[in-house]
Structure 1
Amino acid sequence: MSETLTQTTAAHNSHPAYKASEKVAAHLQQLSVDLIDLHLQGKQAHWNVVGKNFRDLHLQLDEMIDAARGFSDDVAERMRAVYVVPDGRAATVAAQTSLAAFPATEVDTATTVDLAVAALYAVAGTARKIHDDVDAEDPSTADLLHAILLRLEQLAWMIDAENRVAGRSTPVAIQG
């Protein structure tokens, strides 16, 4: 003898303490897109970088890629937690990214450094641009932006050091 259960579909109502506004949702979507593109550009650079200090830069690009991939997941999961649906599809990323395109060819290490640093600072710029709006509405999400900024700017400094000449390029020492 089998019994069939009748399943009823009742509306599910959640009562979140916080739900992102359209403005914060758009800001987080932009950051998500930029982080996804940073990951993709990092892979493109990783596969096609050649020249002096190849191995060191190749490994640094791995760090950049890991950070971008991890942060893109953190941002997307935070979006879901505040009732925003992230869109990380390739067409969306291509249409909405703030990053300049990375070349499709082999790229010399010195140029790769400059391009990677520019991409890192572009994503950091997005995080800084949206920070105050996000912080005003949700300080918890702003904490995530702080973590992203700390790591991306650290990576930019470390990668940029590959092309610097001591005492002849920025930054200059602070004189007290």
Structure 2
Amino acid sequence: MIQIRSSLEETARTETAELLQETLVDLVDLSILGKQAHWTVVGPRFRTLHLQLDEMVDATRRHADLVAERASALGVAPDARAVRIAAQSGLPQLPAGWLTDETVVSHFVDAYAKLIDRMRVRIDRTGRVDPVTQDLLIQITAELEKQSWMFQAEQSGIAHR
């Protein structure tokens, strides 16, 4: 059996690994949702959202990679298999089919709000057991809040059409 050692005490490593795994699942799901919306968005803001969603997906995939590599560095194998994502994501899911620009923006405003709330809980919990992981989650949350702001700005524009 392959074993990667960590400098964290076992209880701290176990809790940190759980929080990283939850984060990985949510980030991978967000990137999948972003790509799905990218392919199916329609409406007057199609081009703007199409490009914004690609930027969001790229950033989210980078974050997921950092989270997975942090878990690996702690000696925990990350799991981003489709079955795991489907079973454990805490994010709201998109309906099937073509999606209006209003639907897409509203969905991602809600998804980001939920994800940021979940990240803040994880930040709090990792602060007690692993400040290095906490720092990573803080950085990722700052970027998620930026993306959230951008979707909220789009929502404001849609409401004023």
Q: TM-score by structure 2 length?
A: 0.89
Task: Answer yes or no: is 1:18 the counterpart of 2:31.
Answer: no
Larger Rg: 1
Equivalent residue runs for 1:126-137 within 5 Å: 126-137=118-129
Task: Answer yes or no: is 1:103 the counterpart of 2:88.
Answer: no
When you count helix as a share of all residues, which structure comes out higher? 2
CA shift at 1:16, angstroms? 3.4
| Ranges in structure 1 where 5+ consecutive residues have no aligned partner | 1-10, 169-176
1:155–1:13 Cα change, 3 Å: closer
CA shift at 1:67, angstroms? 1.3
Residue 79 of structure 2 aligns with an amino acid whose one-letter code is D
Q: TM-score by structure 1 length?
A: 0.82
Deviation string for 1:117-157 (max 9, x for gaps)? 22222222221111111111111111111111111111111
Residue 125 of structure 1 aligns with an amino acid whose one-letter code is D
Quote the sequence identity (%).
43
Who is 1:31 aligned against?
23
**SS of alignment partner, residue 17 of structure 1:** coil
Who is 2:131 aligned against?
139
Deviation string for 1:61-114 (max 9, x for gaps)? 111101111111100000001111111100000000001111111110011001
Check the 8 A contact 2:13/2:74 in 1, yes or no. Answer: no
Instruction: Report the count of equivalent residues.
Output: 156
Which one of the candidate residues 47, 50, 67 is aligned to 1:75?
Answer: 67
Which one of the candidate residues 78, 91, 94 is aligned to 2:86?
Answer: 94
Who is 1:164 aligned against?
156
Check the 8 A contact 2:44/2:101 in 1, yes or no. Answer: yes
Who is 1:49 aligned against?
41
**SS of alignment partner, residue 18 of structure 1:** coil
Give the aligned CA root-mean-square deviation in angstroms: 1.9
CA shift at 1:13, angstroms? 7.5
Deviation string for 1:35-64 (max 9, x for gaps)? 000000000000000001111111111111
1:96–1:78 Cα change, 3 Å: same
State the alpha-carbon separation in 2 of the partners of residues 136 and 159 from structure 1: 32
**SS of alignment partner, residue 104 of structure 1:** coil
Who is 1:5 aligned against?
none
1:161–1:18 Cα change, 3 Å: same
State the alpha-carbon separation in 2 of the partners of residues 43 and 58 from structure 1: 9
